[in-house]
């Protein structure tokens, strides 16, 4: 596959439960090798989307293509190369971790050796407790076992739904390191959902933010979350002159849009007074110069609203 190959291609995906529109015409693309952050507040439709990707829930409309195959028609072929943790890690509690993995290995669609199971248990640090029934496991241990089962059949795409929830800081770090390792060393594509922006910022290269089932923004993490670059909306009496003037300055990174008397630009925070002074000195009436809220601020506002 080429590096630009699309691993997950979701278009106009919609899920209508009885009276709740959980996912609304969602578009999303995950490329091979991505660590893709799937960000949204609780209840934004993340889990519903992940469940649709994994065929746990059938979409009301829209399409899901994975590895360039339609999920509806090639489900088993696709799932052979997908490993996942969906929400909290649940297992057959009355069976040992080892046996749980053996069972899942048998239905993973690929040959999984006993050696592979042992290796994975070592990888997640459960080799000493492999024979214990899962019901004796702590949440953190289950979470690690969850990772092990997702990697069992060496899938190309790994879907992790809030994998660090409920873990202590040490556990969170271990999982993050593991994800980075899987991405860098084994070149896995990772689809990572989270409601914590900082987590995505640390691990992901691309991301999407959704709220109320629809896309807010999608793009490269570096670009979307650059802390030094600010969006500012300037209100002037003559936009045409203003745009011409702004294009000649060194401070303005980009003129994003012009609408009515407003010009939206991106620039570094330190340069705001200089831009203001420059426009006024050139005879323009600047009636307002308002920093538009950053993505981070926006995200914080929607997550705090839902809590």
Partner 1 sequence: MIFTLTKIELLKIFRKWRTYIGFIAIGLLVPLLHLAMYLEGQRSLELVTRGLRDSFILVGNLLNGYWISYIILNALTIHIPFLIALVAADLLAGEATAGTYRLLITRTVSRMQIVTSKFIAGIIYTISLVLFLAIMSLLVGLLIFGTGELIVMRPDAIIVFEKTDIIWRFILAYSFASLSMSVVCSLAILFSSLVENAIGPIVSTMAVIIIFVIISAFDVEILKAIRPYLFTNYILNWREFFGNPLDTGEIIKAVTVLCAHILVFFTATLWIFQKKDILS
Give yes or no for residue 57 binding partner 1 (CB under 8 A).
Answer: yes
Rounded Cα distance between 21 and 17, Å, is 6
Exactly one of 1, 20, 56, 288 binds partner 1 (CB under 8 A); that residue is: 56
- C-beta of 106 vs 115, nearer to partner 1: 106
Rounded Cα distance between 52 and 48, Å, is 6
Angle at 87 (CA atoms; ends 45, 213), nearest 5 degrees:
5
Cα 145 off chain centre by = 22
- C-beta of 99 vs 253, nearer to partner 1: 99
- C-beta of 90 vs 168, nearer to partner 1: 90
Give yes or no for residue 55 binding partner 1 (CB under 8 A).
Answer: yes
| Smallest separation (angstroms) from partner 1 to the CB of 19 | 14
Angle at 19 (CA atoms; ends 14, 22), nearest 5 degrees:
35
| Smallest separation (angstroms) from partner 1 to the CB of 127 | 21
- C-beta of 162 vs 201, nearer to partner 1: 162
Count Cα atoms within 13 angstroms, Cβ side, for 69.
13
- C-beta of 48 vs 239, nearer to partner 1: 48
Site for partner 1 in 83-112 (CB under 8 A): 84, 86-88, 90-95, 99, 103-104, 106-109
Give yes or no for residue 151 binding partner 1 (CB under 8 A).
Answer: no
Nearest to 99 by CA among 135, 138, 125, 123: 135
Give yes or no for residue 21 binding partner 1 (CB under 8 A).
Answer: no
Rounded Cα distance between 136 and 130, Å, is 11
Contacts of 146 (CB under 8 A, 6+ apart): 85, 89, 163
- C-beta of 147 vs 230, nearer to partner 1: 147
Rounded Cα distance between 104 and 86, Å, is 15
Exactly one of 8, 26, 35, 79 binds partner 1 (CB under 8 A); that residue is: 79
Total number of residues binding partner 1 (CB under 8 A)? 30
- CA diameter of the chain: 79
- C-beta of 82 vs 175, nearer to partner 1: 82
Give yes or no for residue 149 binding partner 1 (CB under 8 A).
Answer: yes
- Which parts of the chain are beta strand (E)? 6-17, 20-31, 35-39, 61-66, 69-70, 82-85, 157-161, 189-194, 206-211, 214-220, 229-236, 252-259, 262-268, 286-292
**Residue ranges in contact with partner 1 by CB under 8 A:** 17, 51, 54-58, 75-76, 79-80, 82, 84, 86-88, 90-95, 99, 103-104, 106-109, 149
């Amino acid at each position: 596959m080429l590096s630009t190959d699309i691993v997950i291609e979701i278009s106009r995906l919609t899920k209508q439960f009885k009276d709740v529109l959980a996912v609304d015409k969602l578009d999303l693309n995950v490329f091979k090798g991505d660590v893709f952050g799937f960000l949204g507040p609780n209840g934004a439709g993340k889990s519903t989307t992940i469940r649709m990707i994994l065929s746990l829930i059938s979409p009301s409309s829209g399409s899901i293509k994975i590895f360039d195959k339609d999920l509806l028609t090639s489900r088993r072929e696709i799932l052979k190369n997908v490993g996942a943790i969906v929400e909290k890690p649940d297992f057959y509690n009355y069976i040992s971790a080892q046996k749980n993995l053996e069972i899942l290995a048998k239905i993973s669609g690929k040959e999984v050796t006993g050696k592979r199971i042992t290796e994975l248990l070592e990888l997640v640090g459960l080799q000493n407790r492999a024979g214990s029934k899962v019901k004796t496991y702590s949440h953190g241990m289950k979470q690690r076992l969850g990772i092990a089962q997702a990697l069992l059949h060496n899938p190309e795409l790994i879907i992790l739904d809030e994998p660090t929830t409920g873990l202590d800081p040490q556990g969170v770090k271990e999982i993050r390191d593991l994800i980075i390792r899987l991405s860098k060393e084994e070149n896995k594509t990772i689809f990572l959902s989270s409601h914590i922006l900082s987590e995505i910022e640390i691990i992901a290269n691309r991301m999407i933010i959704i709220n109320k089932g629809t896309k807010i923004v999608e793009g490269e993490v570096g670009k979307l979350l650059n802390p030094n670059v600010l969006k500012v909306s300037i209100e002037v009496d003559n936009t045409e002159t203003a745009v011409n003037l702004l294009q000649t300055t060194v401070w303005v990174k980009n003129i994003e849009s012009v609408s009515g008397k407003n010009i939206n630009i991106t620039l570094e925070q330190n340069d705001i007074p200089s831009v203001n002074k420059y426009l006024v000195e050139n005879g323009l009436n600047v009636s307002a110069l308002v920093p538009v809220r950053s993505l981070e601020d926006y995200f914080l506002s929607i997550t705090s609203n839902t809590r």
